[in-house]
Amino acid sequence: MSNMQITPMAGKAFGATVSDIDVRNMSDVEFALLHEAFLEHGFLLLSDQHLTEAESTAFGERFGELEFGGLPMANQKKHQDGTFGEIFDLQSQLMRTNVGNETWHTDSTYKPISSKVAMLSAVIVPDEGGQTELADLRAGYDELDENTKELISNLSAFHSTNYSQANDLGDFPDRNGEGVYGTVYHGEAYLRPLVKIHPETGKPNLFVGRHAFGIPGLSRAESRSLIRSLLDHVVGDDSRVYTNNWIVGDTLLWDNRRVLHRARPYDYNEPRYLIGTRVAGDPATELAYYPEDPEAEAGRKALAEELEHLRHETKDRMYGATTATF
């Protein structure tokens, strides 16, 4: 008999805390209960877990095949012996990417297969700021008026990190970058519906975020206005937004198919180290298309045209329409 306690977040449309559980030693029955709660509530906060990178990976693997596991998400260089060195320069592509993540988004919609589960575990947190915020795309959809639901029912948008970095920050990443940046900033854009039917619950939710642009069939101005209005609607009600003030040892996991998230600013001279694990989506429901597929050409064309606009429009933003050199 499990002692696990699942408590819905007070005053929120989504989310729950989970107590009296050690995720390193869960039985199959306990994990089934946890997974059921995850689908019902959209995100779960588990305190006092203190997971290592390997333990975060192992926990993530219980949800399915990983996109990546136990990745240090930090503003410092991690050495082989586990210690940390200098704080990364704010002008580096790594920190430009970190700052970009302070805008509402869902993970991996800019890849052929978007993700299923995202998980963060706190190891080092700053004295102030650096929270992670979540927003409920399901409740956001439920509370749209019927005319808007009808309007967006058959619309889709392209998704690209090259777009979101340029649009939000005036950052134009090198599309020929190596390592992780070559998988994030690749010059592709993937078409995804504005309304997603959740593959496990069957319930509809909005599916928009900072990576979304270029709705086919609408003008650029109409597309930008509609995406902005949908995002503003979702995050415009306190019941649909949760702010997690990190405590060392916390593990926070959310359903990327339903929940937006963003990081909050902090003093970047202070260390912040979270462990990230991301579970890959099921290709049957999360695949847009592959770069070699004929559909991909429309995404590349839409992205190239949008970036031309943004090169002229973003010179006054944080990075001044520039490309990082390191």
List alpha helices for the chain, DSSP H: 28-41, 53-61, 93-100, 137-142, 146-152, 161-169, 180-184, 220-235, 283-286, 296-313
Percentage of the chain lying above the pLDDT 70 cut: 98
Q: Are strands 156-159 and 190-193 parallel, antiparallel or unpaired?
A: antiparallel
Q: Which of 239, 221, 313, 228 is nearest to 10 (CA)?
A: 239
Nearest one of 39, 36, 14, 34 to 23, comparing CA atoms: 34
pLDDT at 179: 64
Give the pLDDT score at 82. Answer: 77
Asked if 96 and 171 touch (Cβ cutoff 8 Å), the reply is yes
Q: At residue 180, does pLDDT exceed 90? A: no
Fold of 5-313: Double-stranded beta-helix (3.60.130)
pLDDT computed for residue 178 by the predictor = 64
Whole-angstrom distance, CA of residue 249 vs CA of residue 278: 18
Mean pLDDT over 168-185 rounds to 82
Tens digits of residue pLDDT in 119-152:
999 999 999 999 999 999 999 999 999 999 999 9
**pTM, 2 dp:** 0.96
**Over residues 209-233, mean pLDDT:** 98
What is the structure's pLDDT at 30?
97
Residues 245, 124 contacting (CB under 8 angstroms): no
Q: In the prediction, which pLDDT does 177 show? A: 64
Q: Is the pLDDT of residue 1 over 70?
A: no
Q: What is the mean pLDDT of residues 292-312?
A: 98
- Residue 22 pLDDT > 80, yes or no? yes
Question: For all residues of the chain together, what is the average pLDDT?
Answer: 96
132-136 and 43-46: which strand pairing? unpaired
pLDDT of residue 160: 98
Are 49 and 253 contacting, i.e. CB atoms less than 8 angstroms apart?
Answer: no
Q: What is the pLDDT of residues 37-77, one digit of tens each?
A: 999 999 999 999 999 999 999 999 999 999 999 999 989 88
